[in-house]
């Protein structure tokens, strides 16, 4: 079974700062996918970024980037030039690479990120 650990229950930064959210995971799988989802107060879960474990290059999406350290089983999310709209719960999630994703995602407990004006 997989486990995902987010060690920061809550973080608060000033607008325009850079913030890094931590995520570690444990698995015996060699082929897998990692995700960061954002859940704003509207409750809609929004995919932020996705990383394939077989790719060494870190994924980026505009102001969002990851630091993927496969050997250390670490998958942190960096948000640059943070904006008020980034205030949300952030969930790190793991998907096995086999089985077509039919058994879904394993989630961490989440980090509540607050961007202060």
Partner 1 sequence: DVKVTQSSRYLVKRTGEKVFLECVQDMDHENMFWYRQDPGLGLRLIYFSYDVKMKEKGDIPEGYSVSREKKERFSLILESASTNQTSMYLCASSRGLDRSPLHFGNGTRLTVT
Interaction site with partner 1 (CB under 8 A): 6, 9, 33, 35, 42-45, 47, 50, 91, 95, 97, 100-110
Nearer to partner 1, 6 or 76 (CB): 6
Select 14 or 60, whichever has its Cβ closest to partner 1: 60
User: What minimum distance in Å lies between the beta carbon of 77 and partner 1?
Assistant: 15
Question: What is the C-alpha separation between 41 and 55, in angstroms, rounded?
Answer: 33
Q: Output phi, psi for 21, to 5 deg.
A: -105, 135
Smallest separation (angstroms) from partner 1 to the CB of 82: 22
CB of 15 to partner 1, least distance (A): 26
Output the smallest distance, CB 46 to partner 1, in A: 8
Q: Which residue number, 13 or 45, has a Cβ lying nearer to partner 1?
A: 45
CA 93 – CA 91 distance, rounded (Å): 6
Based on CB atoms, which residue is closest to partner 1, 18 or 31? 31
């Amino acid at each position: 079974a997989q486990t995902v650990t987010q060690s920061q229950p809550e973080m608060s930064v000033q607008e325009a700062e850079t913030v890094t959210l931590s995520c570690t995971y444990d698995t015996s799988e060699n082929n897998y996918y990692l995700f960061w989802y954002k859940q704003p107060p509207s409750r809609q879960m929004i995919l932020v970024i996705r990383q394939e474990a077989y790719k060494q290059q870190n994924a980026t999406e505009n102001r969002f980037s990851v630091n993927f350290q496969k050997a250390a089983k670490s998958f942190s999310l960096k948000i640059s030039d943070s904006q008020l709209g980034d205030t949300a719960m952030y969930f790190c999630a793991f998907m096995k690479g086999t089985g077509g994703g039919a058994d879904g995602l394993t989630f961490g407990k989440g980090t509540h990120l607050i961007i202060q004006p």
